Structure 1
């Protein structure tokens, strides 16, 4: 019996460690790599308002749409959704009632979130402080698709490593190309013009146009790896000029060194094209 109790105790410790690691991964994804609060938190001139984190806000208003990122804390309607329904909304852009979540929610990238990472994200969102805030409802003057693709059955992430394959997965989680591609009436152009910049963002900071991320002289080709990493995590150009929001430098400062190196490795593979 002593051996049985010992085994059960060790199993309990292992389960607790796994659960803690699961939550840590979810926190890392939501608060750092995916920077969910950059869209889903009320914004001031200096960035997201900390005590209203994930409470929702107006993200973008243009002739194509008025995009409202909803409150995703446990005080919102997502508390009534099952974990599977919340996961489906994040990864496939479909609410429980079957309606489609429109741009700029980066569903084309998020469809590649692995099953394990999706579960960690949902678990973490269930744990965040409640924020009582109703930011309103999105309105679209463009046709939305009935879905962003067939149902996602299962996704496994590439093995973490400093290479372009894993770096592409990191870029998808960070939805780099969603913001750094030109806006079309149907949302960001992730085809021929992916990564060429030109997406205008409007907010308390004024109007900011996303720059070119391709491997072109007008993009990233002439920057060193260290310079790219400093721009991503600190918002400072090589000449010392401070970069503007809405790039979530504060969130990206928490990206792990391995993920950051992998991201740069991927960006070096993006075919070079001039600015839009």
Structure 2
């Protein structure tokens, strides 16, 4: 009887290990889909050559420079390298950095990290992204600390926990969720003279981005005459993946190298959400 109980206990333990392993693999797969799709962290954190072209062989080892008037920021190394990356950070510390903008040493992460939008990320998707980051190859790459000529906030708000994503069956709500964690409006909403987003003109475009590619201007994503009113759903989806209505290939910082991996169902939800926005003139100005 004792032998039978030990065998049964062992089989139960093995079955639980199998379940746990399967859950972890599913979590990593979800994280891979998010990171290589709509969340597109690699658009900033991927290593890049001097001409701005992604160097995928060096992974998410950072170094991209954002040289704006109020700051000069450098994308962090988010590979599991223990010395120059996130290898020594706990899951809780990594989650706090992503969703609350606070590093393990208590310092605040500044722009262009879109913390205001990442605060809306679900607990499950945050865990999936962390699981994905854990299995990336560690890459040793020392990245300079960012420099700010503006005061950073003491925090971005209270601790975030207990966040759930809407059901994909709620198409527009789920589309908004995807747009939030994909921080679409971080680029496609006008900013005021202090650099803050003008949320009354959500999605109206107008921001100018300069880089090795030259200069690009964020489009108006609202269903206005100066925006997407005359565009079909298929044309909008194609544009999100990088090719405009007239066949022109869009410039960075549009994350088309990642957005091309967004599933058809998720793309439909994103397009439906954009169609629900209040029509706004380009840049929020008549």
Instruction: Give the TM bin, normalised by the shorter chain.
Output: over 0.9
Residue equivalent to 2:178: 170
1:108 deviates by: 0.7
Q: TM-score, normalised by structure 2?
A: 0.90
1:262 correspondence with 2:269 = yes
Residue equivalent to 1:34: 39
1:137 correspondence with 2:145 = yes
Residue 268 of structure 1 aligns to a residue in which SS? helix
- The alpha-carbon distance between structure 1 residues 135 and 6, as it changes in their structure 2 partners (threshold 3 A), is closer
Alignment partners' CA distance in 1, 2:112 and 2:60:
16
Aligned residues: 275
Residue equivalent to 2:169: 161
Residue equivalent to 1:249: 256
Alignment partners' CA distance in 1, 2:168 and 2:207:
30
1:262 deviates by: 0.6
Please say if residues 61 and 85 of structure 2, whose CA atoms lie closer than 8 Å, have aligned partners that are also in contact: no
Alignment partners' CA distance in 2, 1:149 and 1:220:
34
Please say if residues 178 and 190 of structure 1, whose CA atoms lie closer than 8 Å, have aligned partners that are also in contact: no
1:15 correspondence with 2:20 = yes
For structure 1, the residue ranges without an aligned partner over 5 or more in a row are: none
Q: TM-score, normalised by structure 1?
A: 0.93
Cα RMSD, aligned residues only: 1.9
Residue equivalent to 2:236: 228
Residue 120 of structure 1 aligns to a residue in which SS? helix
Please say if residues 227 and 237 of structure 1, whose CA atoms lie closer than 8 Å, have aligned partners that are also in contact: yes
Residue equivalent to 2:48: 43
Please say if residues 58 and 66 of structure 1, whose CA atoms lie closer than 8 Å, have aligned partners that are also in contact: no
1:14 deviates by: 2.5
1:195-214 CA-partner distances (Å, limit 9, x unpaired): 11122222221121111111
1:101 deviates by: 0.9
Please say if residues 64 and 185 of structure 1, whose CA atoms lie closer than 8 Å, have aligned partners that are also in contact: no
1:98-135 CA-partner distances (Å, limit 9, x unpaired): 22111111111100111111111111111111222223
Please say if residues 177 and 190 of structure 1, whose CA atoms lie closer than 8 Å, have aligned partners that are also in contact: no
1:4 deviates by: 5.7
For structure 2, the residue ranges without an aligned partner over 5 or more in a row are: none
